């Protein structure tokens, strides 16, 4: 299983010289089985624009799972020629909350946008996903509802039968209480998603000291992501969904805070390729 981080920023893109090393595009992760082309996309932020180059200009055929429906996780859809393509085949899944196409059309339709989701080129299927285990695009995907302000939100655990990673791009655990360290509860859904994974990709929009003033916006502190990885026995955590004004140098400083922790802590970087392939058991 191979991951490519196409977008790692939160809330809004962050262009400019101070954001080049970690990247300014919003949330999008492409997942492929072995050395094949990606068949699973998690979130469709502006990072989705990088998919055509990743696929060598070929149209996408597979599944897009949105963690939720905020703009920074959907705005790449009409600007990606791999999915808006006459030869594309796309199953688009969102957390179940009614007529998916109608909900998407409230965001993407005149006068707010020139076309509707149904006018995207290619063969599209729009559906709502319930909590539980799903077989999607060759992967086993566990969906669990997690707290995040402003609409139903899922975290995902993705497995190819050998390796697994957890993806909690937007997560506000303080909604459920302060937890043991004051940064939020290590609640059952988060633990189930992360437990024993090879990699945790987690919302880390805020510094720990920023959380008290900003938790109402619906995000997590970096210290929570690290604590969840430790509690769930995950060897590596990627700090993700970087705050828009957080510069490359400031993310370096944030990562350095956790250099002595028992898990490896890294800042998610746009363009990073992560190989989680494991040999099959004999």
Residue 201 domain boundaries: 2-272
Q: How many residues does the chain have?
A: 282
d(CA 254, CA 55): 33
Query: What integer is the mean pLDDT of 68-94?
Result: 97
pLDDT at 278: 65
pLDDT at 277: 79
Q: Are strands 2-7 and 61-65 parallel, antiparallel or unpaired?
A: unpaired
In a domain, 28, yes or no: yes
Considering Cα of 52, then 55, then 58, then 60, what sign does the dihedral take? negative
Query: What integer is the mean pLDDT of 245-273?
Result: 98
Could you give the residue ranges of the DSSP H alpha helices within 39-87?
A: 51-54
Query: What integer is the mean pLDDT of 203-231?
Result: 96
* 280 pLDDT higher than 80: no
Q: Could you tell me which of 133, 201, 130, 204 has the C-alpha nearest to residue 167? A: 201
d(CA 38, CA 33): 7
Long-range Cβ contacts of 245-249 (<8 Å, 24+ apart): 245/14, 246/14, 247/18, 247/19, 248/18, 248/19, 248/20, 248/21, 248/22, 249/18
In a domain, 143, yes or no: yes
pTM of the model: 0.96
In a domain, 137, yes or no: yes
pLDDT tens per residue, range 159-179: 999 999 999 999 999 999 999
Q: Could you tell me which of 230, 232, 178 has the C-alpha nearest to residue 208? A: 178
Query: What integer is the mean pLDDT of 53-66?
Result: 96
pLDDT at 282: 38
pLDDT tens per residue, range 34-55: 878 999 999 999 999 999 999 9
CB-based contacts of 256: which residues, under 8 Å, 6+ apart? none
In a domain, 281, yes or no: no
Return the minimum-mean-pLDDT range out of 11-15, 32-36, 148-152, 218-222.
32-36
pLDDT at 180: 87
What are the structure tokens assigned to 158, written together?
Answer: 């993705």
| Domain CATH number, residue 187 | 3.60.15.10
Query: Residue 209 in contact with residue 181, Cβ under 8 Å?
Result: no
CB-based contacts of 218: which residues, under 8 Å, 6+ apart? 147, 148, 149, 150, 170, 172
d(CA 183, CA 177): 9
d(CA 256, CA 226): 12
In a domain, 282, yes or no: no
In a domain, 160, yes or no: yes
In a domain, 277, yes or no: no
pLDDT at 281: 42
Query: What's the mean pLDDT when you consider all of the chain?
Result: 96
Query: What integer is the mean pLDDT of 52-75?
Result: 96
In a domain, 280, yes or no: no
Q: Which band of pLDDT confidence, cut at 50, 70 and 90, is reported for residue 279? A: low
pLDDT tens per residue, range 102-161: 999 999 999 999 999 999 999 999 999 999 999 999 999 999 999 999 999 999 999 999
Asked whether the bond before 39 is cis by omega within 30 degrees of 0, the reply is: no
Look at the chain and report how many structural domains it folds into: 1
CB-based contacts of 4: which residues, under 8 Å, 6+ apart? 29, 30, 32, 38, 50, 54, 271, 272, 273, 274
């Amino acid at each position: 299983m191979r991951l490519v981080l196409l977008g790692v920023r939160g809330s809004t893109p962050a262009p400019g010289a101070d954001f080049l090393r970690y990247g300014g595009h919003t949330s999008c992760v492409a997942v492929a089985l072995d050395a094949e082309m990606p068949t699973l996309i998690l979130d469709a932020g502006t990072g989705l624009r990088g998919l055509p180059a990743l696929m060598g200009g070929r149209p996408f055929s597979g599944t897009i799972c949105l963690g939720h429906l905020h703009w920074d996780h959907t705005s790449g859809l009409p600007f990606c020629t791999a999915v808006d393509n006459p030869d594309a085949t796309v199953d688009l899944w969102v957390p179940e909350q009614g007529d998916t196409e109608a909900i998407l059309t409230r965001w993407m339709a005149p006068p707010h946008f020139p076309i509707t989701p149904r006018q995207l080129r290619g063969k599209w299927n729009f559906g709502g996903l319930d909590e539980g285990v799903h077989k999607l695009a060759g992967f086993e995907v566990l969906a669990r509802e997690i707290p995040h302000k402003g609409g139903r939100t899922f975290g995902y655990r993705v497995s190819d039968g050998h390796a697994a990673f957890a993806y909690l791009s937007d997560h506000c655990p303080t909604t459920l209480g302060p937890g043991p360290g004051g940064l939020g509860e290590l609640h059952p859904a988060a633990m189930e998603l992360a437990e024993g994974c090879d990699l945790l990709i987690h919302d880390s929009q805020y510094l720990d000291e920023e959380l008290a003033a900003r938790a109402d916006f619906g995000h997590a502190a970096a210290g929570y992501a690290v604590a969840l990885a430790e509690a769930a026995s995950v060897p590596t955590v990627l700090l993700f969904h970087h705050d828009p004004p957080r510069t490359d140098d400031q993310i370096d400083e944030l990562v350095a805070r956790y250099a002595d922790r028992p898990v490896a802590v890294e800042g998610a970087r746009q363009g990073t390729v992560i190989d989680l392939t494991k040999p099959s058991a004999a």
